[in-house]
């Protein structure tokens, strides 16, 4: 690459950076200008909307302002207060108030005495009638009675639980001038303002009407109702609870609402309304401002992009010829390098493939050797065990041999004396003793032979009985109480000889463990638990030392004296059990001694799992 080409590249980079920076600044400036204009337009539109809404609300409130004043002048109103016991007059006033409420389209009109008890009401015949209700706690009552002026109040109805705007007027005795004496009662009108709230639902922007404390009582955002613009002081909270203005609710701030419920809350426009220092608020949608700014910035960015694209096209056309020549040279060089890399990689893959084939062959040979060695270890373990059992088996065979000799001598004697029946009985004894010797030798031959690794159903009960039978003479010789509990049947898939080898290993270990114990007890139990055949061999020995527990199943690890074991029994047993998808574990019992547990899947469970798969 020449020096002039390098200089041209640097110039183009510098120009590109300057253009990019200027374009970015122009896009950002267009965003802020457009957003500012949109914000001002939104503010003006919101103020116009607030003005229209406030005029509607004030016109409705003023429309009903004179209604209670006019009713207070009715002779029937004052007469009802002076003659509260006259049911006829009270009922006549109820009917008049009912008709007035229907014609004026107000929620209720009701008359209260100086104690605040309602004696007549337009809703006298409804389930939520005000008759008999006391409203002395309401501010509009005290304003009309004690201050002799119109009362105004917005609250949730104590009887109907329906919010409304209350207007009250004092009632004076007939013929008396207003203000010349104390009022004899109060007339009140309740107006429902829900129609405004329903009309506001058509607006996408939040609209709210709050009282002088900042508590929202009308809004097109339902979660905002009866929440305040800011946290209220304890005195204000107590005042709201005393007057039951909002049904005794605890008023929390809107800012404490979840994010989804206070969506749209933020900067707002406000306008005072009514006689109670209400505030009508509109919350402009700030997303419109952002959208206006983004739209403006996108338009500017698009125009700049088009201009830059045209510029780039011309510059690209000029550079294309130069870059084409460079690209051809680079392509040829890359093709040469790629061809070289392909040749090298092909050679490496060929060598790797040959190495993998060699390793696979070695692995197969190793696996074959491992299986052969494992089988030889199992057979060696059995032969070692047979050697250890030789003394006991010799003693077991010696008894029937001695008995056969004695019975044979007796049979000869009886034959010489002509006592054929006694001779026949001795011959039968000889036959039984021979049969017993044959069964012992058959068990030894079956145990000593090499297993063909044939997998079949194995009756665990029979395997336990065979193992115990082979060790019975040694058990008797050592004076060990061997208890066998195999009442529950269980069958597993495996090799009978290998299962017996595992059992003999574990029972012999238990016999060795109780050799020096004052109570020589070994328990062998068979149970079925969760689809497993569970064989436990527990002894009354001293248990497994902590430093031995971690090495129990390691080959050639033994705690016995030299000549009493090779340390292969438990390792072989664990290997046999694992080959049958089982487990062999050892632990110390709480009441002393050790317990070895063999768990092998039941044949039925394995068959079910295979058919399901």
For position 41, what pLDDT does the model report? 78
Does residue 547 sit in helix, strand or coil?
A: helix
442 phi/psi in degrees, rounded to 5: -65, -40
Contact present, 261 and 268 (Cβ < 8 Å): no
Contact present, 164 and 122 (Cβ < 8 Å): no
Provide the 8-state DSSP code for 228: B
For position 297, what pLDDT does the model report? 75
577 phi/psi in degrees, rounded to 5: -65, -40
- pLDDT tens profile 450-468: 555 557 888 888 888 888 8
For position 68, what pLDDT does the model report? 94
For position 431, what pLDDT does the model report? 75
For position 120, what pLDDT does the model report? 95
For position 397, what pLDDT does the model report? 62
Q: How far apart are CA 118 and CA 138, in angstroms?
A: 13
322: its two tokens: 């130069």
Does residue 470 sit in helix, strand or coil?
A: helix
- pLDDT tens profile 555-586: 655 665 544 444 566 777 888 888 888 999 98
- Ranges of residues in the chain with a pLDDT under 70 are 1-5, 8-9, 35, 289, 292, 370-400, 402-403, 406-407, 429, 432-433, 435-454, 549-551, 555-569, 605-613
> Containing H/E element for 345?
helix 286-416
The CA distances from residue 147 to 74, 111, 140, 186, 212, in Å, are 21, 17, 10, 12, 21
For position 564, what pLDDT does the model report? 47
């Amino acid at each position: 690459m020449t020096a002039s080409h390098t200089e041209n590249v640097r110039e183009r980079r510098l120009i590109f950076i300057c253009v990019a920076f200027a374009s970015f600044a122009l896009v950002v400036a267009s965003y802020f200008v457009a957003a500012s204009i949109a914000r001002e337009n939104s503010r003006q539109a919101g103020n116009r909307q607030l003005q229209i809404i406030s005029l509607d609300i004030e016109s409705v409130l003023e429309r009903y302002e004179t209604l209670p004043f006019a009713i207070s002048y009715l002779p029937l109103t004052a007469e009802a207060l002076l003659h509260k016991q006259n049911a006829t007059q009270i009922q006549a006033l109820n009917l008049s108030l009912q008709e007035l409420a229907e014609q004026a389209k107000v929620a209720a009109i009701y008359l209260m005495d100086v104690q605040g008890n309602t004696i007549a009401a337009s809703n006298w015949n409804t389930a939520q009638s005000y008759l008999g209700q006391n409203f002395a706690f309401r501010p509009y009552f005290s304003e009309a009675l004690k201050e002799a002026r119109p009362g105004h109040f917005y609250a949730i109805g104590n009887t109907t639980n329906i919010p409304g705007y209350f207007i009250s007027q004092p009632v004076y005795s007939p013929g008396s001038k207003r203000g010349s004496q104390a009022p004899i009662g109060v007339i009140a009108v309740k107006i429902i303002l829900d129609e405004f709230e329903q009309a506001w639902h058509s607006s996408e922007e939040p609209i709210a009407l709050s009282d002088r404390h900042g508590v929202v009582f009308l809004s097109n955002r339902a979660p905002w109702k009866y929440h305040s613009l800011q946290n209220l002081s304890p005195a204000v909270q107590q005042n709201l609870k005393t007057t039951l203005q909002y049904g005794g609710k605890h008023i929390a701030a809107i800012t404490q609402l979840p994010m989804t419920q206070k969506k749209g809350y933020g900067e707002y426009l406000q306008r005072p309304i009514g006689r109670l220092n209400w505030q009508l608020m509109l919350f402009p949608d700030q997303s419109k401002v952002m959208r206006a700014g983004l739209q403006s910035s996108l338009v500017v960015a698009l125009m700049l992009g088009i201009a830059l694209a045209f510029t780039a096209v011309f510059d690209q056309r000029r550079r294309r010829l130069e870059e084409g020549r460079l690209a051809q040279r680079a392509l040829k060089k890359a093709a040469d390098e790629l061809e070289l890399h392909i040749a090298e990689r092909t050679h490496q893959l060929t060598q790797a493939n040959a190495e993998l084939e060699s390793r696979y062959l070695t692995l197969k040979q190793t696996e074959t050797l491992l299986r052969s060695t494992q089988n030889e270890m199992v057979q060696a373990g059995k032969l070692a065990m047979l050697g250890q059992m030789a003394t006991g088996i010799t003693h077991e065979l010696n008894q029937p041999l001695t008995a056969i000799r004695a019975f044979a001598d007796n049979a000869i004697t009886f034959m010489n004396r002509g006592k054929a029946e006694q001779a026949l009985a001795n011959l039968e004894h000889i036959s039984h003793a021979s049969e017993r010797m044959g069964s012992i030798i058959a068990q030894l031959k079956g145990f000593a032979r090499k297993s063909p690794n044939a997998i079949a159903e194995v009756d665990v009960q029979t395997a336990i009985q065979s193992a115990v039978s082979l060790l019975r003479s040694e058990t008797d010789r050592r004076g060990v109480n061997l208890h066998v509990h195999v009442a529950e049947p269980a069958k597993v898939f495996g090799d009978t000889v290998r299962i017996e080898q595992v059992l003999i290993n574990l029972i012999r270990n238990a016999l060795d463990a109780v050799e020096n114990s004052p109570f020589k007890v070994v328990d062998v139990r068979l149970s079925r638990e969760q689809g497993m055949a569970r064989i436990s061999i527990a002894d009354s020995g001293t248990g497994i030392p902590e430093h031995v527990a971690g090495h129990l199943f390691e080959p050639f690890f033994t705690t016995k004296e030299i000549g009493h074991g090779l340390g292969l029994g438990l390792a072989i047993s664990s290997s046999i059990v694992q080959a049958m998808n089982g487990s062999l574990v050892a632990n110390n019992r709480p009441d002393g001694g050790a317990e070895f547990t063999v768990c092998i899947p039941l044949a039925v469970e394995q068959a079910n799992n295979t058919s399901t798969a």
